[in-house]
Structure 1
Amino acid sequence: MNAVLSPLTKSSNTTFEKSIKVSEIVDAYKVYEIDVSSYFSAISEVSVYKCNETNYSFYYPFNLSGNSAFYEHFQKFDWYYMSWKWEHEITKEYIKPGMKLLEVGCAHGDFIKKVNEHYDLEYSVGLELNETTKDKDGKWEIINQTIQDYSKQNENKFDIVCSYQVLEHITEVHSFIKGKIDCLKSGGTLIISVPNNDSFIKDGKGCLNMPPHHMGLWNEKSLVELTNMFPLKLIKVHFEELQEYHISGYVFSEYYSKYSKLVGKIIQKLHKISGLYNKRIKETNLNKQHLKGHTILVAYQKI
């Protein structure tokens, strides 16, 4: 049997971590009223491997990522494409007037539009594969193109290149990251935010952290390791504090995820009746600023 190569390093220095039954994944996605069985034809299990050189974990086989119809389905949920998030606020620390900014995977372009309202940027571009999203207004525009293709004609052009909650969806992570760096000027800032798999989502039982939604599992170590692979210098690692809308997920992860799905739900229901569940929700809410939230953001400088 051939070794599974890391999509980040292209090395065979990988380790099998676990397998997940496809039937369990398909069943879990039903809560979002979507049938994902067609993405797993001819296989009964999905494997998780770790790249030993970088600590990056990834799903295998590689051809499981969702198509445009999959993501269009999730657009109907208000929480899926939030117009302004924690990581957008953090990015403001790195923006100065007159900069050129590129956002890779800009969705509806909310971030691009808002930063142009508050900063006198020279030029901003958002890349988005969803062809229903294409727009242009003065100093900013949204283009339907991959970063790999866009970078070929736009090397050393931007002061800031950013992506928010995108990298975890990508299989070809090496060329994706390289394309972003190629677009940066020397000394420019690369910003990457992803779900932090050292946070409360680490139990791996949430279907949105699995294919066809997510194809990779990032944490601080794997993100910092990018400085050993690419011409990057680490500026700062930012950790999101627990957000109010993630409190119920945090409580479930901390107290109920260790059980099977059925048993966890039964215990949770009993605790709701007894009042223990609500007590845990209140305690978590009071301490949320001290708890590690869903997202990690890392800022790098191109060298």
Structure 2
Amino acid sequence: MIKSPLNSNAGQTKLIETFESKKIISAYKKMNIDVQRFFLEDSISLYKCVKTGYRFYYPFFSIGDARFYDDLSKNRKSYYSHRWEHNVALKFIDKSDSVLEVGSGFGLFLDLLKQKNVKAKGLELNPHAVKQCKSQGFNVEEKLIQQEALEHNSEYSIICYFQVLEHITEVHYFIKSSVDALKEGGYLIIGVPNNNPYLFVSDKYHTLNLPPHHAGLWNKESLIALQNIFPLKLEEMVFEPLEKSYKYFLNFHIHNSNIFIKTVLKTLNKYIPKILKKVLCKFIKGRNVLVVYKKVS
């Protein structure tokens, strides 16, 4: 039995589906990224933690390394960029807070905090990014959150990470260390892709939603479940409006859904495009979600 990396003590899992390795390798090749070294078997599997709803890819050796992310950032110049959730997260942070950002990249969020005169530190495993952050005067260390928690237990009032958690295999220990480094009453702010079925049901081989890029898939159910595992209380859950990625969403489903959905979407988009957009954006949540938890005793 494959154990859940989120909830190993009560982590019954079930197999959801499998993916052909050669198809994934081919998809990344179109992005000029060689990922063959991650796929030692003919297929990889997606499992679901029954207790929490968290879905994760297995085996874990299919998940990316530093070289992979270096290749990805070179091929996608916008990979490290300002994100929707950055501005949302700022609403929960005051000047008096001590902030730790895990996975700070090239310091884009740290710069926003600096503009607000907020004391902040970053952790980042990409040595090139660490060097660039330091050249800009940011306090960034090449260190794991597990080590930071040992050295600075219960020190921060805010710990945040954006588009990081979906890349982590050992998610239980990652989140536990984050909570350990928080003061009681402090806030854990997490931004992740929202893997709801309306976005991905027709997009099984969506390249960047697969290994080696993503290790796990998060949605409303699994994010709520964190309260049952860690001393956390969910305070806020904010979804990115579909409007921000509406064009991509509509075009993808017109070209890749079944014939009935294709026909309906094409017809409605031809005759009543504004009404279609208004209805879809009202009932379908967008590509990312930001959650805010409070550390409780």
Q: TM-score range by the shorter chain?
A: 0.7 to 0.9
Looking at structure 2, the residues matched to 278 and 69 of structure 1 have their Cα atoms a distance apart, in angstroms, of: 42
Q: How does the TM-score come out when normalised to structure 1? A: 0.86
Query: Retained in 2: the 8 A contact 1:196–1:219?
Result: yes
Match of 2:185 among 187, 199, 206: 187
Q: Of 158, 163, 166, which aligns to 1:165?
A: 163
Structure 1 Cα separation of the partners of residues 271 and 217 of structure 2: 28
Q: What is the distance in 1 between the residues matched to 2:272 and 2:25?
A: 29
Distance across 2 between alignment mates of 1:18 and 1:288: 28
Instruction: Give the drift of 1:60.
Output: 0.7
Counterpart in the other structure of 2:128: 132
Looking at structure 2, the residues matched to 137 and 231 of structure 1 have their Cα atoms a distance apart, in angstroms, of: 37
Partner of 1:241: 241
Partner of residue 227, structure 2: 227
The structure-2 alpha-carbon separation of the partners of 1:39 and 1:281, relative to structure 1 and needing over 3 Å to count, comes to farther
- In the alignment, structure 1 segments of 5+ residues that lack a partner are none
Higher helix residue share: 2
Deviation larger for 191-200 or 282-291: 282-291
Taking structure 1 as reference, are residues 12 and 301 closer, same or farther at Cα in structure 2, changes over 3 Å only?
closer
Task: Give 3-state SS (helix, strand or coil) of 2:60's partner.
Answer: coil
Q: Aligned-pair distance for 1:205?
A: 2.6
Counterpart code for 2:290: L
Cα deviation, residue 199, structure 1: 5.5
Instruction: Give matches, 1:280-295, under 5 Å.
Output: 283=274, 289-290=281-282, 291-295=284-288
- Structure 1 vs Structure 2 CA RMSD: 2.5
Do 2:11 and 2:51's aligned partners in 1 also have CA atoms closer than 8 Å? no
Residue 253 (structure 2) aligns with: 254
Deviation at 1:80, TM superposition (A): 1.5
Instruction: State the distance in 2 between where 1:67 and 1:172 align.
Output: 14
Does the residue aligned with 2:24 lie in a helix, a strand or coil?
A: helix
CA distance in 2, matches of 1:12, 1:96: 37
Provide structure 2 residue ranges, at least 5 long, that are not aligned to the other structure.
none
Report the CA distance shift for 1:70/1:279 in structure 2 as closer, same or farther (over 3 A): farther
Match of 2:211 in 1: 211
Q: Secondary structure at the match of 1:24?
A: helix
| Structure 2 counterpart SS, 1:101 | strand
Would you say 1:17 and 2:16 are equivalent positions? yes
- Following superposition of structure 1 onto structure 2, how do residues 118-157 of structure 1 map, counting pairs within 5 Å? 119-121=116-118, 123-134=119-130, 135-136=133-134, 140-157=138-155
* 2:48 is aligned with 1:50: yes
Q: Which has the larger displacement, 228-237 or 84-93?
A: 84-93
State the 1:30 CA deviation. Answer: 2.2
CA displacement at 1:297 relative to structure 2: 0.9
> Percent identity of the aligned residues?
37
How far apart, in 1, do the equivalents of 2:28 and 2:273 lie? 29
**Cα-to-partner distance string for 1:60-106 (whole Å, 9 max, x where unaligned):** 11111111111112213233111x22101111211111210011111
Q: Report the CA distance between 1:183 and its aligned residue.
A: 1.0
